[in-house]
Amino acid sequence: VHGAKCLAVLAGSSMPGAASGVAVGAVVAPKRHLQTVIKALDERQWRKKRTKVHEYDCEHLAVAVAPEGARALDAFGSDAESLVPAPLAALLRDGAVRWATGHRHVSAAAAPSPAAAAAAAASPAPPPRFRYAELFAGVGGFRLALDGLGGRCVFASEIDPCAAATYERNFGDAPLGDITEVPDEALPAHDLLTAGFPCQSFSRSGEQRGLGDARGDLFFEIVRVASRCRPAALLLENVPNLLRVDNGHALHIIVHALARAGYHCRLQLANAAALVPQHRERLYLAAFRDAAAAAAFRWPSLPAARGAAHRALGSGTVGVGYHGTPPGTLPPQYRTLGELLEPLADEERSRYELSETQWRQVRSSLEWRTNPQWRLPPLGGGPRPP
């Protein structure tokens, strides 16, 4: 109730300050009031629990506040004052604690792992064709492609600890965590900014609250970084339903915010079904500071589906075995599942194989009959079994 009321009272507050990102800040308090502050913030679920309480100065500690609470505290003393928990409001009015709007705290800069640093020192990389930064980096899908094009990642941010750990294992660099806690001065110069920004508030499977949701609001962190670092181009990705959320108003705000930051936008729906073994339609947004570059930009042409090669695999007219496809038989986008998996020795693979009895039990199960998407495709290619 308080969250909905806060959003209603403060509706429209994100757009005027889009270049400064989402509302952020910290309650600054002496140690004797710290527990009162934490309890009051937790009552509204306003405390950023992934950001540790940290030293603000020699006499005060800072407690980081989530965007919803930051918006209410920014408006403290106006119509939103009743949204602030009474104990915290009393401390603020008395001057015992204070609200530090805009305060961001990051504990350490992203750094390569010792092994990656040693490898880089042993064989210095050639100068990159371009430098890029990625927000909401996940496990590094954008990086995998951009490194292959000669780019060099100079900054990455990912808040999910499991995704960040996978990212570090994939690339040797540990991404920073919460982008809302990274101050402007910690953002390096770059030529391209990428972001697969949180999709939960835009997805058809969610409540579709769009930019009014705390996760959807994180889009404005992209605007902040772009406004601060002024990269030549942006490449953003989200779910197709972003086109329809709030009758298209959310997308209008996004494009308008980027235009105000100096970017010319191009949008395209793309389905990667021809490249990966799943239906994966996504909305991509490319934005350029140079109007001529935006006008000259052309989206790549992707096949609508796996097409003739997929049908050939399914019919058995193309011989493909487990890691047995002759080189050059199929283009890279038609590699089979067996080719994508790491090879296993026969004795190791046998530990994972089902017996004929086990396989019959799987196929007779309710899950198999009612959820075709759960069926694993054959290692040698072709459609999922009926």
Is 265 noted as a catalytic residue in this protein? no
Are the C-beta atoms of 153 and 133 separated by less than 8 Å?
A: yes
Tokens of 150: 């000669």
- Tokens, residue 269: 């729906």
Contacts of 218 (CB under 8 A, 6+ apart): 22, 136, 179, 180, 197, 198
Angle between helices 2-9 and 67-74 (to 10 degrees): 50
Catalytically annotated residue among 58, 199, 229, 265: 199
31: left (phi over 0), alpha (psi -120 to 50) or beta: alpha
What is the rounded distance in angstroms from the CA atom of residue 156 to the CA atom of residue 330?
Answer: 35
Q: Tokens 């021809």 — which residue?
A: 274
- Annotated active-site positions, please? 199
